[in-house]
Amino acid sequence: MFESWDAGKNWSEKVDELERRVLAKEAEISRLRAEQAADLRILDQLQVDLGDGDRCMDDWVQAHLDVSHQTAARLIQVARSSDRDTVEKMKSGSWGLDRASLLIRLAQAGATAEQVADAADNYSLGRIYGLILELREISPLQEQASFEDRYLVIQPSLDSSMYKLWGQIHGVDGQIVDQALRLRASSFPNIPDQSQGQLLADALTDLCLDSLTGGSESEEPGRPVVVAEVFVDATVSAPTYGEAGATTSSGLRLGPNTLAEILCSGSSRVIYSDSNGPFKVSHRTEAIPPAIRAFVLKRDRGQCSIEGCGSRHRLQPHHIKEQHAGGDHHPDNLITLCWYHHHVAIHQLGFTIDPDSPPHRRRLIGWRPINGPPIRLAISA
């Protein structure tokens, strides 16, 4: 079925030959589609869809021709068109099915004959579709209905370890949300292998934090106290290295990364227990004293200490040697990080501070890909 490359032919000659053959086959496909549309016009008049119990002719075509619903709809659109020139253009190979159906829709949208003719000869399919949208009328009632159909669903998993969000909003509001999220995401430092969807999710969290903390100019920047108490069952947590046994009073299950971030901030009380009940309760006074926090912020020049970053957005102190590993609040064990490097890079993606990097040019190392072995990777913003 597939022929091999003919080494005796010049490369450009071979490409030209293949291009001619591809175009000829497409013209033949258009001719056959035109014949299909002519036959479907008669079948539509005979209402064969009703005889077979289909909802509409589009469904009948989709089922019998084994094509997508979009292709079926376009075939019926051409079949029902009163403009016979469309079928003739398809028969001659000048127009394909997609162009023919879009030009029919353009005429139905109110375009003049001159506009349709100009689009037929000079416009790409995407530009024709854009012109159709420009001509589409939207009544006040349609606008109101579109706005009233807005909704947002926020659904936690059974253990609240993940949340799903979905919904829809009015077009203008959607553009506002889209632009705001993309603008915030564009300000984030460069972390390897982060998809656009992941960046937008982080941007949404960051913007919501602005609302809860007063933005990046708050006197006490950091995460809001969403979690007041954390309960750690030592009999379960110790054998699993913190992967089980940590929950909040509301039942939210915490993994080791989130627990480490809570312990790092010192904003929540941690209650440790075993089979005999609570045996240790941390106090919120374990949080970094305000004077030390201010000194570290001044020492780090009021910006993120990661090499190449320098962000001043929602700055947070971080323990180089974490508290649960014996680290203290000494200024030498603290550095200033922006929210993204602290929350996303360190406490969620698993980077650590390179202890050998200079104080004001700190590097992140040790990232572990989800589906791969640990690697040592230095990154900058």
Average pLDDT over residues 341-354: 84
| pTM higher than the cut 0.75 | no
Q: Model confidence over 217-244: pLDDT tens digits?
A: 444 444 444 556 777 777 777 676 666 7
List the one residue out of 323, 326, 332, 335 whose CA is nearest residue 362: 335
Give the residue with greater pLDDT, 250 vs 148: 148
pLDDT at residue 63, rounded to an integer: 92
* Burial of 49: CB neighbours in 10 Å, binned 0-12, 13-18, 19+: buried
Residue 217 or residue 336, greater confidence:
336
Say what the pLDDT of residue 7 is.
Answer: 56
Which pairs count as long-range contacts for 84-90, CB under 8 Å and 24+ apart, including other chains?
A: 87/34, 87/37, 87/38, 88/34, 89/120, 90/30, 90/31, 90/33, 90/34, 90/37
Q: Over 90: is that where the pLDDT of 141 sits?
A: no
pLDDT at 241: 61
Q: What percent of the chain has pLDDT over 90?
A: 27
- According to the model, what pLDDT value does residue 218 have? 41
Instruction: Examine the pLDDT at 374 and tell me if it is beyond 50.
Output: no
What mean pLDDT do residues 114-139 have? 87
Question: How does pLDDT run across 264-284, given as a tens digit for each residue?
Answer: 665 667 777 777 777 666 654
Is residue 232 a contact partner of residue 274, using CB atoms and an 8 Å limit?
no
Q: Where are the domains of the chain?
A: 18-137
pLDDT over 90 at 74, yes or no: yes
Residues forming a β-bridge with 278:
273
Average pLDDT over residues 67-86: 90
What pLDDT is stored for residue 40 in this prediction? 93
Predicted pLDDT of residue 268:
67
Q: At what angle do helices 97-108 and 125-135 cross, to 10 degrees?
A: 20
Q: Which residues pair with residue 270 across a beta bridge?
A: 230
Q: How far apart are CA 220 and CA 289, in angstroms?
A: 12
Mean pLDDT lowest among 175-189, 213-227, 239-253: 213-227
The answer on pLDDT for 345 being more than 90 is: no
pLDDT digits (tens, 9 = 90+) for 19-65: 999 999 999 999 999 999 999 999 999 999 888 888 899 999 999 99
pLDDT range class, residue 171, cuts 50, 70, 90: confident
What pLDDT shows up at residue 285? 40
Return the pLDDT at 26.
92
Which pLDDT value is given to residue 37? 93
Q: Is 159 exposed, middle or buried (0-12, 13-18, 19+ CB in 10 A)?
A: exposed
- pLDDT value for 215: 62
Q: Mapping DSSP to helix (H, G, I), strand (E, B) and coil, where does residue 230 land?
A: strand
Average pLDDT score, the chain: 80
Instruction: Write the pLDDT tens digit of every residue in 105-118.
Output: 999 888 888 989 99
Residue 376 has a pLDDT of 44
- Nearest-angstrom CA–CA distance, 360 and 330: 17
Task: List CB contacts of 334: < 8 A, sequence separation 6 or more.
Answer: 288, 292, 296, 317, 318, 319, 320
The token pair at 233 is 């069952």
